[in-house]
Structures are given as C-alpha cells and as structure tokens.
Amino acid sequence: MTKTLIATTALVGALVGPMSGMALAETIGVSIPAATHGWAGALNFHAERTIERLKEVYPEHEFVLATTPDSATQVSDLEDMVATRGIDALVVLPFESEPLTGPIQRIADSGTWVTVVDRGLAVEGIETLYVAGDNDSFGRTAGQYFADTLDEGAKVVAMRGIPSTVDNERVEGFEAALDGSGIEVLAMDHGNWNRDTAFTLMQDWLSRFPEIDAVWAADDDMAVGALAAIEQAGRTGEMIVVGGAGMKEMVDRIRSGDSTVPVDVTYPPSMISTAIEMTVVGVTGAAPMSGEFIIASELITPENADDFYFEDSPY
C-alpha cells in the first residue's frame, strides 16, 4: 500500500464543517464489534459520539452504525448495508481478519470507499484508508520494558488476543524486544481480549508454574482477568502484570503506586473517531485521504500516569 501523509485529528476537525455545504449527500456505514469488553465499549462510545456530532455538521449525510458480536453477524451486517442502505463509504473494524477479508474486498471492488480500522485484513491494499494503533510498537514497548527491568532468566507468560493481524503484530513486536534478553517465555496462549477467558487461562498457568516473574497481557481487560486470578490464588507480590490500551482502572493503579502494575501501554479506542472523521473528509472531497494513519504507542509510567487518566472515560 502506498503510504501518504494524511491529516491529524485536529486538522480533520478543522476541515469538517466549512466544506459540508459543498458536499453531495452520502451514506456512510460504520461496522464495529459490540461492547463485549472494555476497549470495545469505549470504541462504541466514541463511535456514537462522533456520529452524533457529524450528523449536526453534515445534515445531508446519513450515518449507519452496526455493532456485531461475531464475524458471521458482521458479514451479514455489511451485506445489508450494501443491499438496503446503498452505502457510499464504509468504516469497518473487522471482528476477525480472515472471515471479513472477502466480503470487504467485494465492497471495495464495487467502488465503495473503505476505511479499515485497527485489525488489518488478510490481503493488503484492499482499503482506501487504514487507521490503527501501532501494534508492533504496542508489543515491542511491553517487551522492551521487560528486557530493561527483569533479570536474565526471568520467567514470563503472555496472553494473546483474538486471532488477527493485530494480535500477530503485537506478538511479533513483543518477541522481537525479548530476543537476546535471556528472558524465558513459559507459555503463550489466546485470552481473546476477554476478562473471563484471561482469568481461566491465568488460573491454569498459576497451577502449572510455581515461578512466574511477569505477565504480559496484550489488552487491559485480559490484565484485569489475570490480576483477579493472581489475587484469588494468593500470589500477589510474586509477579508484575503489564497490559495495554490505557484503561483508567489500570492507569489509576499505576498512579497510586501499585507495584503489581508498574506500567501500561497506550492504544486509544478513540481511533474510531479519527477514522470516521477522515472518511467523511475523504469521501466528500474536502481533502485527499488515503494510505495509512498509524497512532504510536507510549509507555504509561508513575511519572506520566496523570496525563493518561480520564475520570469521565467509559474505559
């Protein structure tokens, strides 16, 4: 895919509005996972707020929002958007990469603008615009923290997310950062970005491994599940837990000096707002929008945690 320099959210906000009177009416579909866990809940929150705001700015446009509990439902939702709503543009966060690649490719091949968010498709170059966090950086940042702070020979376990390009990129970054560190990965399995699944997975690891120095959870919901299992097993104080996405519960633990949660890694759910805004600007011709817009991850520490804590946030 050709990478182009594209506008920041602030610039998009400046563009949305003055050009609206020049735009033809468009129907923009937005398809995202249902609020089955915290990050997805915040994703829904930001999507709904952004659509409501853009409806006021672009009253001539129609926005269609669908949330999905699984890949099969999402495919059906997309077919409905095309057949009955006649969408001119699609903003989609695939529930899973592989099952959604074919359906989204057919939509793009029909000439519809496609913006893919967060979870890339199994085939590159289908979408007009790709908006995502830096998943390699997400995993690499956590792995580098372990490499910098844990002793050689330290033992860690790692919780992966739902099988997807996002998950693969995070794991690859994490493993690359640990390469040569002498840190041993005892186990790595899918927690599916779900608290209950992570809780059960952590229970299994705690029963199998008498010594664990650190847990990497590739999402804060999984980190919460892991922490609950550790506390239930009475093994608090034996290991640290590093998650990611900046959940306010985790950030609050960092800012309060909780030694079990020393840091976290950012991955903002508000990227859906950026994606919707950029799509509106692109499809209406207000400014050229194509290529990739990647949002870098940062390490949240006790020193900067206050900057990442938002009391009113749903996540």
Which domains does the chain carry? Answer: 9-131+268-295 (3.40.50.2300), 135-267+303-308 (3.40.50.2300)
Residue 302 has pLDDT above 70, yes or no: yes
Residue whose C-alpha is closest to residue 249's, from 191, 305, 288: 305
Distances (CA, A) of 32 to 41, 76, 214, 258: 10, 13, 32, 34
**To 5 degrees, how large is the angle CA 24–CA 29–CA 30?**
135
- Separation of alpha carbons 21 and 91, rounded Å: 22
- Give pLDDT, residue 11: 42
- Separation of alpha carbons 122 and 164, rounded Å: 8
Instruction: Calculate the average pLDDT of the chain.
Output: 91
Name the pTM for this structure. 0.75
- Give pLDDT, residue 155: 98
Give the three-class secondary structure for 61: coil
- Separation of alpha carbons 138 and 299, rounded Å: 9
